[in-house]
Amino acid sequence: MSGGPCDACEELLQGYLDRELGDAEVAKAESHLDRCDYCRRRYRFEATLRRFVQTTAAERMPEGLMAKLSQLRSNQQAGDAVQ
């Protein structure tokens, strides 16, 4: 598929998702996505992945988890020093 329309759409996909494209590039990406099932599925996957990352990255760490992780790291380092 080198040099084909899917390659061109792939190059535009991140900018399209970020809403950074000019009108001509948006039209080109949307035209291809309307016709290409593979790229449309790729777009949906990327959009879903972005939403997932945004929502999970915004969640706060449960209270006390950082202290537990620090304690585990300290225990691991102490165990490594003994060996």
Q: Which has more pLDDT, 13 or 59? A: 13
Confidence of residue 58 (pLDDT cuts 50, 70, 90): low
Count of domains for the chain? 1
Give the up-direction half-sphere exposure of residue 22: CA atoms within 13 A in the CB hemisphere: 1
Domain span at residue 71? 5-82
Neighbours of 29 (CB within 10 A): 21
User: Residue 6 in contact with residue 39, Cβ under 8 Å?
Assistant: yes
Radius of gyration of the chain (CA): 22
Mean pLDDT computed over 62-69:
88
